[in-house]
């Protein structure tokens, strides 16, 4: 016969868990909307920076572009992977999908005969690669919950320095793009060497465009740094929104599962309680019959 006390304790425990998951779902739902707004607000600026860089590259001769270290291309011998994860768990398969994609990419690069180093962003990625025999350039953990341009700039400057000093020949970003509240996709994006999107031929060369102080100085001191910062900043924003959406969905599913479990345990409890009552009635009737006899 089922232990009524144990079932009551189990029901109470699941009810407490349901309260926690429900509260976490509400918090994540409130945060993901703000994260989505930040993400949507940053996209036009990043697109404009890319567009301006495309236009200027279209107007500069390829020979002049070779003088810019960030645009120089060389044989790729060593690749660094910036792996963007979260510091916390309880967000479904969000971190697992990113780490799985990173491991597959590492295997692909090694099969091509390239050296690979990782730059984990977030505790989950740092923990996943802690025991893996692979070079870790630097870990970025315990970053602000809301991504900022400052932290993107800090990471970008470190990566730029490594690339300019030829310690690495290419950099890729592995992170999650926010599509909608239900769908988030893990993507691999080329970061260095800088490869602008296709479709720059529609920019006409114009003699009316003036650049100060000079076109090359503008590229080197303003546009290229802004480009590398904003590409990484956009990736961090996308990852933040994706993490919160994944957490909201995970906590919603957990709350639903807890409710179903409570309903099932309550049914078991009621059956067991009814069985105890029936057993007690049978014992009373049997005792009464015994006294009569």
pLDDT along the chain (293 residues), means of 10: 81 94 92 89 83 74 71 88 93 94 94 94 93 90 88 92 91 93 92 70 51 68 84 93 94 94 92 84 79 71
pLDDT of res. 135:
92
CB-neighbour burial class of residue 28 (10 A; exposed 0-12, middle 13-18, buried 19+) = buried
- Asked about 91 being catalytic, the answer comes back as yes
pLDDT of res. 1:
46
Cα 123 from chain centroid (whole Å): 12
pLDDT of res. 208:
54
Sign of torsion over alpha carbons 269, 274, 278, 283: positive
Query: Does the global pTM surpass 0.75?
Result: yes
pLDDT of res. 5:
87
Point out the catalytic residue in the list 24, 91, 168, 258. 91
Domains of the chain: 23-198+228-250 (3.40.1380.10)
Give CA–CA dist 129/86, Å, rounded.
14
Ramachandran assignment for 180, one of left (phi > 0), alpha (psi -120 to 50 degrees), beta (any other): beta
How are beta strands 135-136 and 184-192 bridged, if at all? unpaired
pLDDT of res. 64:
63
Looking up tokens 């309903």 gives 263
Q: Annotate 8-19 with DSSP letters as a single string.
A: HHHHHHHHHHHH
Give CA–CA dist 257/251, Å, rounded.
10
């Amino acid at each position: 016969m089922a232990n009524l006390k144990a079932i009551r304790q189990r029901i109470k425990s699941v009810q407490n868990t349901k309260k926690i998951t429900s509260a976490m779902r509400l918090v994540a739902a409130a945060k993901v909307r703000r994260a989505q707004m930040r993400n949507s607000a940053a996209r036009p600026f990043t697109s404009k920076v890319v567009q301006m860089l495309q236009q200027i590259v279209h107007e500069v001769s390829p020979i002049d572009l070779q003088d810019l270290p960030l645009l120089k291309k060389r044989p790729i011998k060593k690749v660094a992977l910036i792996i963007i994860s979260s510091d916390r768990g309880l967000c479904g398969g969000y971190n697992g999908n990113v780490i799985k994609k990173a491991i597959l990419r590492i295997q692909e690069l090694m099969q091509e005969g390239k050296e690979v180093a990782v730059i984990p962003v977030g505790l989950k990625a740092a923990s996943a690669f802690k025991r893996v025999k692979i070079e870790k350039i630097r870990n970025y953990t315990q970053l602000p919950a809301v991504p900022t341009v400052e932290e993107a700039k800090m990471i970008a400057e470190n990566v730029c320095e490594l690339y300019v000093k030829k310690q690495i020949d290419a950099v890729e970003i592995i992170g999650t793009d926010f599509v909608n509240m239900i769908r988030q996709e893990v993507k691999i994006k080329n970061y260095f060497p800088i490869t602008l999107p296709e479709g720059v031929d529609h920019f006409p060369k114009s003699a009316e465009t003036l650049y100060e102080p000079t076109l090359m100085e503008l590229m080197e001191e303003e546009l290229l740094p802004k480009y590398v910062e904003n590409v990484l900043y956009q990736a961090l924003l996308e990852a933040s929104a994706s993490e919160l959406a994944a957490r909201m969905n995970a906590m919603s599913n957990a709350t639903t599962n807890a409710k179903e479990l409570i309903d099932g345990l309550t049914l078991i409890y009621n059956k067991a309680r009814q069985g105890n009552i029936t057993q007690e009635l049978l014992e009373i009737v049997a005792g009464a019959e015994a006294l009569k006899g």
